[in-house]
A and B are shown apart, each in its own frame.
Chain A
Amino acid sequence: MAILWIMVLVLVVTLLALAVLLKGVLGAARSITPVVTAIDGVAAAASRDLDAVIALVTTQNYISQVVAGLANYGGSLDAALPDA
């Protein structure tokens, strides 16, 4: 009979320990969900912000034109100004 009561005691302790541990796991899992949702929002916003990146191609084109104009201007200066 005594061993049965010991088993009862062990099972009670086991139940409490399991409850605490599983509650911790569930709490950790629940805390991840809002973080993932927030990251999702940030990623979507960052993706929207990057829509303007395509304008870099236009910038590249403009810079090429500016440098080409600069080269022409430099050629004129080279012809107009005396060398050192």
Chain B
Amino acid sequence: MELPVAIILLLITLIVLALAVFLIATIVELGKINAGLASVLDGVGEIATKTAPVNGVLDAINGTLVAGRNLLEGLALKKAGPDAAGLVESCFPGEGQRFLARIGRSGTIVPFGEDYPRGAAILGSLLGGPAPPSPGEAQAAAAAAPAAPRSGRISLRKPSPAAVAPPTVPGRLSAKGSRPWE
């Protein structure tokens, strides 16, 4: 056998060996990848199973919360009238305009800040004080008043004198005393 022929045979053998070694190693790695992906698929399947009811539950929660919000906004609209948007704005800054859009109205929103005088007056009237101002008057007063610090909530920390005074009707319930059951 001549030398070049022997070298050719040797090289062909080496090529076949290299092909075999590298392809077998690649097959082994692909087998590992396959097993890993099968495990990942199990995990992803668990995730999909566990998250499947989330959409329905969140939709139900959102529906319930929207119903509650609509109820409170309807109550605010019924009781505060034109002041309602200002009250909403005072409680949740930036939400007054959306409230107006939801109820299909437009106009200027005057936030009341921390105190809602008409609310305090209503509380006072319930305790025997004078009648509360109309909603429009309260809004005008709020617009004319200097800007109060807004903390995002309405408080009635400064009750009207009528609310602090003892009730005029004997035996009437009051937050400040006259507890007939004691």
Contact indicator B75/A77 (Cβ below 8 Å): yes
Q: Are A63 and B4 in contact (CB under 8 A)?
A: no
A63 touches B65 (CB 8 A): yes
User: A: which residues have CB within 8 A of B?
Assistant: 1, 4-5, 7-8, 11-12, 14-15, 18-19, 22-23, 25-26, 29-30, 32-33, 36-37, 39-40, 43-44, 46-47, 50-51, 53-54, 56-57, 59-60, 63-64, 66-67, 70-71, 74, 77-78, 80-84
The reply to whether B126 and A80 contact each other, CB–CB distance below 8 Å, is yes
A70 touches B71 (CB 8 A): yes
- Chain A residues near B39: list those with CB within 8 A: 40
| Residues B83 and A43 in contact, CB atoms below 8 Å apart | no
Q: Which interface class (under 10, 10 to 19, 20 to 34, 35 or more) fits B?
A: 35 or more
Q: A7-B8, A18-B19 are in contact. List 13 more A-B contacts (CB 8 A).
A: A11-B12, A22-B19, A25-B22, A29-B33, A39-B36, A44-B43, A46-B47, A53-B54, A64-B64, A70-B71, A80-B126, A84-B82, A84-B84
